[in-house]
Amino acid sequence: MAKKQVNNKTAKPARASQFNFAQDSYLESTSRPLYGLLFLLPLMVIYELGTLWVNTEQVAEILIHKRIIAFIWLSNVAEWLGLSNRLAWLFPALVVVIILLCWHLVSRHPWKIRVDWLGWMAAESILLCVPLLVLNATIGSSTVIATLQAQEPATAATGESFMTYVVTGIGAGIYEELIFRLILFGLILMILEDLLKIKTQIATLTAVGISAVLFSLYHYFTIDAGGFRVTGTFELSGFVFRMLAGIYFAFVFRYRGYGITAGAHAAYDILLKALWG
């Protein structure tokens, strides 16, 4: 009687990145959701505490800035669900934590981490924002920087005002990437690949294009006491720059994960202000 072969192979956890990085290497590990969560947790704390620490009038003005309207959208969703104002303020951070924890559980990656790699993630985020700074200086500076300067508070020269932009730059990186990459890009990709059975390469390019165009358009809306309104500052070069930035962030997200993408976005916003503020 022939013996049956026993398959002793165990299922490997799904990769967070699409590149075939060596298993458990820095590049493969830090693209996982757990590393992204641990990397972003201190930044979320800085954002929450920073908005309480900086001047109240500055916070009120910057919070309606189009770059972090994503945070306000999420807070409005929480209020619509019936949460109090205080809980609504914390809701966006809770969304990040819940999504990344669930993603980690589903992917079945190990819980072991290397703390020193979190520092390397910060360095990588700064490095990855450099191409956008160069691109901005090449085609985007005439509109993007002018828009930033036009919307600065009157006290923009003070150190406290710069801290305001550091705080809101962190918020923009975390919550814009949450909406446009982690949620929107991921949702489009899931629909195209899983439901419509479109090839991965075509689905990826389609998701990149759609999310990038919407990301650029998003910068031409603002919110105030009267609700949503279109700003009158649309210029083609600014739209193209932001669309290219959306394409860039989408590919960074696809291959390096949410944590690095949010970190690179935050680093870009902060360094843009520091270099050309």
- In order along its 277 residues, the chain shows pLDDT tens digits of 444 444 444 444 444 445 567 788 999 999 999 999 999 999 999 988 877 765 444 444 444 443 467 777 788 888 888 888 777 888 889 999 999 999 999 998 899 999 999 999 999 999 999 999 999 888 855 445 544 444 444 344 444 567 777 888 899 999 999 999 999 999 999 999 999 999 989 999 999 999 999 999 888 876 555 566 666 567 788 889 999 999 999 999 989 999 999 999 999 999 988 776 6
Report if pTM > 0.85: no
Over its C-alpha atoms, the chain yields an Rg (Å, rounded) of 20
Give domain limits for the chain: 26-108+127-276
Rounded distance between C-alpha atoms, residue 211 and residue 207, angstroms: 6
